[in-house]
């Protein structure tokens, strides 16, 4: 078999590699204004699910379409998350400054870690949810929180994936050219099984038929 044939395993691997790089660069560029990070994360998951995993559509076209369609929906949600993170950071600095009791400080550190983990887990569900479902902002945030709690073992797996990605980036910053797409692609194998449980029978059947095609 000719390894340079378009349908060969080698060429498919090369195509996936270049798709991951292109999608990651698109994500990083669209994150530059900072206030667009939430929208970029939504478009990243949408494109990873449709193109990288589903082999449907085109990286640039589908990313731009999702980014444009979801901007107004995701922008206020991202601002809320930024406000929550800023509040947590201020509170933590105040606690470290004024609490002198080491035992109390240790307990507060654990509480802060749990709260930060819950926030990270919620975000791990939130933007993929907004990429896959048409819903109000309030319901999207509520449903993402409920999914996080209802599927705790998988939430821990998502957190582990996040931590692993951060560690890899810290060890080799050049991996930023690939990590965002690979991270979102990996997320789809965890989240899609959860999302299908909340789809209607018709939508679930369409998804299954599309996956088999």
pLDDT in tens, 46-93: 999 999 998 899 999 999 999 999 999 999 999 999 999 999 888 888
The answer to whether residue 1 is domain-embedded is no
Domain count for the chain: 1
The answer to whether residue 38 is domain-embedded is yes
The answer to whether residue 4 is domain-embedded is no
User: Where do the H-state alpha helices sit in the chain?
Assistant: 9-31, 37-47, 59-98, 102-132, 137-150, 152-171, 179-197, 201-212
- Give the separation between CA 42 and CA 60, rounded to whole angstroms: 14
**Backbone torsion region of residue 57, taken as left when φ is above 0, otherwise alpha when ψ lies between -120 and 50, otherwise beta:** left
- Give the separation between CA 8 and CA 2, rounded to whole angstroms: 7
Distances (CA, A) of 101 to 93, 94, 130: 15, 14, 43
Q: Answer for the pair 67, 58: CB distance below 8 angstroms, yes or no.
A: no
Range of the domain at 41: 9-212
- Give the separation between CA 153 and CA 148, rounded to whole angstroms: 9
Entry pTM: 0.89
The answer to whether residue 203 is domain-embedded is yes
| Per-residue confidence in pLDDT tens, the chain, 213 aa | 455 555 667 777 788 899 999 999 999 999 998 999 999 999 999 999 999 998 899 999 999 999 999 999 999 999 999 999 999 888 888 877 777 777 777 777 888 888 899 999 999 999 999 999 999 999 999 999 999 999 999 999 999 999 999 999 999 999 999 999 999 999 999 999 999 988 877 767 766 655 554
Instruction: Choose among 33, 83, 68, 26: nearest CA to 51.
Output: 26
- Give the separation between CA 139 and CA 5, rounded to whole angstroms: 47
The answer to whether residue 2 is domain-embedded is no
- The packing angle between helices 59-98 and 9-31, to 10°, is 50
- Give the separation between CA 6 and CA 90, rounded to whole angstroms: 54
- Give the separation between CA 29 and CA 40, rounded to whole angstroms: 9
């Amino acid at each position: 078999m000719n390894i340079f044939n378009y349908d060969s395993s080698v060429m498919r691997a090369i195509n996936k590699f270049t798709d991951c790089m292109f999608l990651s660069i698109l994500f990083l560029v669209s994150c530059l204004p900072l206030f667009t990070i939430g929208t970029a994360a939504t478009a990243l998951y949408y494109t990873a699910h449709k193109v990288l995993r589903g082999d449907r559509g085109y990286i640039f076209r589908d990313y731009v379409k999702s980014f444009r369609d979801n901007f107004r929906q995701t922008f206020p949600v991202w601002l809320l998350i930024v406000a929550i993170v800023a509040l947590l950071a201020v509170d933590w600095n105040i606690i470290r400054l004024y609490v002198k009791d080491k035992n109390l400080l240790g307990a507060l550190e654990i509480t802060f870690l749990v709260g930060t983990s819950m926030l990270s887990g919620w975000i791990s569900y939130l933007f993929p949810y907004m990429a896959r479902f048409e819903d109000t902002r309030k319901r999207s945030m509520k449903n993402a929180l409920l999914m996080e709690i209802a599927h705790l073992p998988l939430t821990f797996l998502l957190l582990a994936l996040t931590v692993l990605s951060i560690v890899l980036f810290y060890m080799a910053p050049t991996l930023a050219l690939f990590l965002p797409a690979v991270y979102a692609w990996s997320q789809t194998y965890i989240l899609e099984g959860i999302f299908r449980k909340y789809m209607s029978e018709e939508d679930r059947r369409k998804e299954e038929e599309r996956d088999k095609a």
